[in-house]
Structure 1
Amino acid sequence: MTEPSETSSGYWYGQDDRGIRAVDVLNGLRRYRQSEQAMRRRTRESMRMGETDLLALQYLLRATKGPNPVGPRDLANYLGISSASTTVLIDRLVRSGHLERHPHPTDRRALTLSTTATTDTEVRATLGRMHSRMLAATEELSADEMRAVLKFLESMKEAVEIVDVHEEASGEGAPSRASSNRR
């Protein structure tokens, strides 16, 4: 039997050989998530904006490169926020010089959104070197390793997207603590 690594607490999981390896992987994933959260916090502080603002800009930087115009409704749907909250968000990003509103090319009642050139430059300056390092780490993997990582990440995504329901003695389900905390 292999000894657990220093980073493997083994909590919730058995201590057999397979369990130790699985726990080490989960702990590695947890450490990555902590580092990513710290990076997001540094990025928000450096750009002087909140999490939703940064998510909106990242979405718009990707989406506006596509063939279809992106409007406030698209942004609201992506972020899962109300139209009123979206309006406040857009107003704030326009005032800060990160976002522009434009008339829709075919619907005179609608608006499209785009990031400013300054925003693109600022995001690239803030995140560009980190993205290059992440790409370099990924490029070191073999094709089989990449397939294994993709399969693992997809399985992890599916595992955390399931909302567990706790069955009470009365037979009625109530959200468990884990699923109710995700709301």
Structure 2
Amino acid sequence: MPDVDPLEASWNDDEVAVMHRLRDWAVAFDELNRHLGTWVRLPSSDANALGQVLWAERAGDPLSPAQLARQIGMTSGATSVLVDRLEAAGHVTRHRESADRRRVTLRTTETARSANEAFLAFAGREIAGTLRDTDAHELRAALAFVDRMTTAATAANLRLARRATGSAQLRSEAGDQPGRAG
């Protein structure tokens, strides 16, 4: 992957348009998640978490609470409270894995799966139709491109996380606290 300074590079119209369309997709997808929240009577943050649990479970790789926390950008304590709310609402359960009883995974309930299927049946028609109407070559090209963009964004997120951790460690070592004049 080339090392490009985004502020110094000259961008062509197609590159700019792609970034705008990716942003538009992210905004539209976020709006769909908010609608899912309304559909299942949950706040957006809870609906987002429920969606993450559903997707992971469908992929055959159920999430632990710690994995969920990383995916939704919350602390482990806040995620624990969120999972408690999802459990109380009848959407998820905590399971101990049979091989390692210490490992807890999150599983959706039949109620949550049914509500999600009803939501997808109502709201997913256009997306499903677009996917089915797209030629296989175009889908593979889009998949390869989105994979590269995800890899690049993940690398940037890791660099930012390391920087944040390093900055917090430096402040701690210096006795400086965020928000405190020193």
TM value normalised by structure 2: 0.62
Q: Is residue 42 from structure 1 mapped to residue 35 from structure 2 by the alignment?
A: yes
Q: Which amino acid in 1 is paired with 2:21? A: G
Q: With a CA cutoff of 8 Å and minimum separation of 6, indicate the structure with the bigger relative contact order.
A: 2
Q: Would you say how many aligned residue pairs link Structure 1 and Structure 2?
A: 152
Shift of 1:57: 1.6
Shift of 1:77: 4.4
Identity percentage of aligned residues: 30
User: Which structure has the bigger radius of gyration?
Assistant: 1
Asked if structure 1 preserves the Cα contact closer than 8 Å seen for 2:65 and 2:105, the reply is: yes
Q: SS at 2:93's partner residue?
A: strand
Shift of 1:112: 4.2
Q: SS at 1:76's partner residue?
A: helix
- Structure (1 or 2) with the greater helix fraction: 2
Q: Which residue of 1 aligns with 2:179?
A: none
Q: Which residue of 2 aligns with 1:90?
A: 83
Shift of 1:122: 0.8
Asked if structure 2 preserves the Cα contact closer than 8 Å seen for 1:56 and 1:75, the reply is: yes
Q: Which residue of 2 aligns with 1:145?
A: 138
Q: Which residue of 2 aligns with 1:122?
A: 115
TM value normalised by structure 1: 0.62
Asked if structure 1 preserves the Cα contact closer than 8 Å seen for 2:36 and 2:119, the reply is: yes
Structure 2 residue ranges without an equivalent (≥5): 1-7, 161-166, 168-182
Against the structure 1 CA distance between its residues 119 and 23, is the aligned structure 2 distance closer, same or farther, given a 3 Å change threshold?
same
1:85-125 superposed Cα distances (whole Å, 9 cap, x missing partner) = 23211211111111223454355556443211111111111
Q: SS at 1:89's partner residue?
A: helix
Q: Which amino acid in 2 is paired with 1:148? A: A
Asked if structure 1 preserves the Cα contact closer than 8 Å seen for 2:53 and 2:62, the reply is: no
